[in-house]
Amino acid sequence: MALLVVVGAAVVAMWLLAGEARGQAQLQVGFYAHSCPQAEVIVRDEVGRAVSAYPGFAAGLVRLHFHDCFVKGCDASVLLDSTANSTAEKDAPPNKSLRGFEVIDAAKKRLEAACAGTVSCADILAFAARDSVVLAGGSPYGVPAGRRDGNVSAASDAQASLPPPTANVAHLTEAFGKNGLSQEDMVTLSGAHTIGVTHCSSFSARLHGYNATTGTGQDPAMDAAKAAELARQCPPGSPNAVPMDAGSPDTFDTGYFRALLANQGVLASDQTLTSDNATAALVAQNAGNVYLFVTRFGDAMVRMGGIRVLTGGDGQIRTNCRVVN
């Protein structure tokens, strides 16, 4: 009986992976070449306006795409607003600090004017993430499109699916593996933290009261000078935010990985990547070769962008990214 259960589970897993592969296969670069030729140009223009006014939007838009794909797949469910009867993903605790929604709204408004009912919100998210990386100094990559939008968004799904900033290598590997992503993808995509900031509350436990017995001390895995610097920036209960790559917080480079090698990772879920031989080797590879990193990053983003996508007749093309049609 146990064997039958295992075999049955394996068949179900294979069926799910096969379905996911079929969805990814239906995505294609240049999907809107005929139906809405200016689609990617319009998104790029809106992202450019936003990032020019506030560079932090680049990291925010990349994070929006990640937080969408890891919850029910890349279906733009993270963009839906809560209703009187349901609390949406964007209002779950892990998503409270998400930003860039207004950039997606602006792009969608122009796209509806140019080619109504054609470009999905999920594809806008994928294009915007790519454009943000490029504007921050990363390399361009082709974004396969053809996603359709989901019509369900639940805060509980986000709470259950998004790895916390305290996650260790095993937890991260499991979370990424459930989405068909390898450890190499996991380390590479974590490199997105080379841009943007994180709130003190996400790592304050590493600075204050780390020792559970004495209620004092700092995480010994963090460089002492870095810990002291962060403790000054983040006193207990601080609402402040700090860069995750202090050397070049708005530039898409290898600074994040070099910081990890120096034990200066801000989040526990970042520094943990050096605690395992396999992931530490990947960190070192990316730290030492920017071309390798940006190439891997584009490839990994494409794979992430294919997680459980809706295509063909599934889902819908939302007219307003915040509400179902």
Residue list for the binding site for Ca(2+) = 68, 71, 73, 75, 77, 89, 194, 245, 253
Q: What does 87-140 look like in DSSP terms, one character per residue? A: --GGGSGGGTT---HHHHHHHHHHHHHHSTTTS-HHHHHHHHHHHHHHHTT---
Q: Is the dihedral of CA 88, 91, 95, 99 positive or negative?
A: positive
**Residue whose C-alpha is closest to residue 293's, from 303, 304, 282:** 282
DSSP 83: B
Annotated binding site: 68, 71, 73, 75, 77, 89, 163, 193-194, 245, 253
**What distance in Å separates the CA atoms of residue 52 and residue 43, rounded to the nearest whole number?**
14
Contact 139, 72 (CB under 8 A): no
**What distance in Å separates the CA atoms of residue 161 and residue 76, rounded to the nearest whole number?**
15
Q: Is 59 helix (H, G, I), strand (E, B) or coil?
A: helix
Annotated binding site for heme b: 193
Residue 67 catalytic? yes
Question: Residues 65, 67, 199, 208: which is the catalytic one?
Answer: 67
Residue that is written with structure tokens 């096969």 in the block: 18
Q: Is 305 helix (H, G, I), strand (E, B) or coil?
A: coil
Annotated catalytic sites, by residue?
A: 67
